[in-house]
Amino acid sequence: MLSVVSRDLGWIEVIVGSMFSGKTEELIRRLRRAQIAQQKVAIFKPVIDNRFSEDHIVSHNEQRIPSTAVEDVSEIIEKAKDARVVAIDECQFFDPAIIEICQKLANQQKRVIVAGLDQDYRGVPFDPMPQIMAIAEYVTKTLAICVKCGNPANKTQRVTKQRDRVVVGALDAYEARCRNCYEHPKEN
């Protein structure tokens, strides 16, 4: 069956999973392919995510691509006006206004690619990701490898005592765990 994609059609793609599951790596792969196709891309991330770089999105295996850090999601519309492809990494750190921003961009005939955690360290859906998945045309769920048993992992285990919902970190604060090895955090 022949598939025809209109260049005048916008859509939303979502890449979700636990930490260390390759979300950012997959996002970068898709962006590099768009660049090879000579599509203009605009890449964004929240200011809070400065773990590896302030002006790149960086995967845990050190792949990187230039990006713009934004404080307020409303900045994205103006900064992406000339782009055909708009990418947003670590989307779970943005406020719920990002949902409408994604809709507006897709309605402007842009390909919108969003990556983020689908669950927080407590195993609770991490807003606004569930809402964006609901309106997306494509959803990809990535899995990590459980550090305890080697099975597919879809949970993010926090290994520090911090209890704030948002704690930006990497191997120093989190591990990938499967359903069986995940230990639900104890409430204080």
Are the C-beta atoms of residues 11 and 137 closer than 8 Å to each other?
yes
57's tokens? 């999105």
The structure's pTM equals 0.88
- Split at pLDDT 50, 70, 90, the class of 119 is very high
8 Å CB contact between 129 and 14: yes
Residue whose entry in the numeric block shows the structure tokens 């990701």 = 129
Residues 6+ apart with CB under 8 A from 132: 12, 14, 91, 98, 99, 102, 114
How far apart, in whole angstroms, are the C-alpha atoms of residue 68 and residue 57?
A: 9
pLDDT class of 5 with cuts at 50, 70, 90: low
Give the Cβ contact number of residue 134 at 10 Å: 10
Residue 169's pLDDT band, with cuts at 50, 70 and 90, is low
Q: Please say whether the beta carbons of 158 and 40 come within 8 A.
A: no
Q: What's the pLDDT band for 102 if we cut at 50, 70, 90?
A: very high
Question: What CA–CA distance (Å, rounded) separates 175 from 81?
Answer: 38
How many CB atoms sit inside 10 A of residue 154's CB? 22
What are all long-range contacts of 160-163, with beta carbons under 8 Å and residues at least 24 apart? 163/188
Question: How far lies 78's CA from each of 54, 124, 157, in Å?
Answer: 20, 32, 37
Can you list the domains of the chain with their CATH numbers? 11-143 (3.40.50.300)
Instruction: Say whether pLDDT at 1 is over 60.
Output: no
Mean per-residue pLDDT for 61-85? Answer: 92
How does pLDDT run across 121-159, given as a tens digit for each residue?
999 999 999 999 999 999 999 999 999 999 999 999 998
Given a contact cutoff of 8 angstroms between Cβ atoms, the answer to whether 156 and 119 are in contact is yes
- 29-52 pLDDT tens trace: 999 999 999 999 999 999 987 666
pLDDT band at 53; cut points 50, 70, 90: low
Catalytic sites, residue numbers? 90
Return the pLDDT at 170: 52
